[in-house]
Amino acid sequence: MNAIDVKNLVKRYGGRAVVDHVTMSVAEGEIVGFLGPNGSGKTTTIRMMCGLLTPDEGEGQVLGYDLRNEGLKIKREVGYMTQKFSFYEDLTIGENLEFVARLYKLRPVETYVARTLEELGLTSRRNQLAGTLSGGWKQRLALAACIMHEPKLLLLDEPTAGVDPKARREFWDEIHKLARGGLTVLVSTHYMDEAERCHRISYISYGKLLATGTVDEVVRNAGLTTFVVSGTRLDQVAAELEGRPGVDQVAPFGNTLHVVGSDRVKLEASLADLAGREDIKVEPGETSLEDVFIQFMAGSKDNMS
């Protein structure tokens, strides 16, 4: 059974479709990464799925409940973590969680709070003011509040923005632990390494869903070819390559250039003269998810312009 099964979702603002006929399914216990540039419609889609917004068109079910008519039931079984830290900074961690427990009418409050503090490693910081927490600890508090009422679905909207690499890794370890316990997770992110930790990914750009599948499937289906150029004066080489037929991207990576294109024949022809130079080496490379991300962005049209 799918935890999320929605079809042709549309949401308009000012006559423009911010979400344009998005169809998506997420299986129970699956972690799906939701990728896309700023303003692509990720947050609006997530808010429709958790019952905070009503779609203008489309239909579907979330956790077996009708998206249009059973929004309140969906809200009770979803944990939604927003981009912005939304807790009372002049209350302690424990007091914030007590407040959330009462909102969900969890009884006894102390039992739920104590268990959640223990599960997220927050017990020793229970009496610390939320406003004094670092980004990583704020993130952990937000996650604790999301899972305290034991939801079946977790919707995370760019949860690790501004968090250091160690805290990000610990966060993802926690997400995978929760998924092994049966929790379904849909997480929007800009970090490619995080997307690669998901079971599947879906890419949305300016309201339209462009790709979905495992990372390997999305990279393979993008149809891109990548070459790695190494040698001397690579800044000049990069300038030479810009605008040549078949060259869609030229990006420095350390002491090399990654040259990417969707037309392999034209790309190879444009690199042929470089391969003949003594001080330059051209070798086949591996297309990355970031290459695909950039290609999608370049090929999409802003629906708000």
Residue 303 has pLDDT above 70, yes or no: no
On average, the pLDDT of the chain sits at 92
Q: Is 188 left (phi over 0), alpha (psi -120 to 50) or beta?
A: beta
Rounded Cα gap, residues 4 and 82, in angstroms: 19
Residue 215 has pLDDT above 90, yes or no: yes
Residue 149 has pLDDT above 80, yes or no: yes
What CATH superfamily classification does 225-286 receive? RRM (RNA recognition motif) domain (3.30.70.330)
Confidence of residue 163 (pLDDT cuts 50, 70, 90): confident
Using the structure block, give the residue that is written with the tokens 């869609």.
248
Convert the pLDDT of each residue in 253-302 to its tens digit.
Answer: 889 999 999 999 999 999 999 878 889 999 999 999 999 998 988 876 55
Closest Cα to residue 182, out of 151, 212, 158?
A: 151
pLDDT at 300: 64
93-103 and 109-119 are packed helices; what angle lies between their axes, rounded to 10 degrees? 130
- CATH 3.40.50.300 maps onto the chain at 2-219
Convert the pLDDT of each residue in 2-28 to its tens digit.
Answer: 999 999 999 999 989 999 999 999 999
Provide the whole-model pTM.
Answer: 0.89
Rounded Cα gap, residues 254 and 240, in angstroms: 19
Rounded Cα gap, residues 273 and 259, in angstroms: 14
Q: Which residues pair with 65 in a beta bridge?
A: 62
Beta strands across the sheet bearing 249-253: 249-253, 256-261, 225-231, 280-284
pLDDT at 301: 59
Q: How would you classify the pairing of strands 225-231 and 256-261?
A: antiparallel
Decide: residue 169, CB within 10 A, 0-12 exposed, 13-18 middle, 19+ buried. middle
The yes or no reply on domain 2-219 and CATH 3.40.30.10 is no
- CATH 3.30.70.330 maps onto the chain at 225-286
Please give the single-letter amino acid code of residue 101. Answer: A
Beta carbons within 8 Å of 66's beta carbon, 6+ residues apart: 59
Rounded Cα gap, residues 145 and 113, in angstroms: 9
pLDDT at 53: 92
Beta carbons within 8 Å of 117's beta carbon, 6+ residues apart: 93, 94, 97, 123, 126, 144
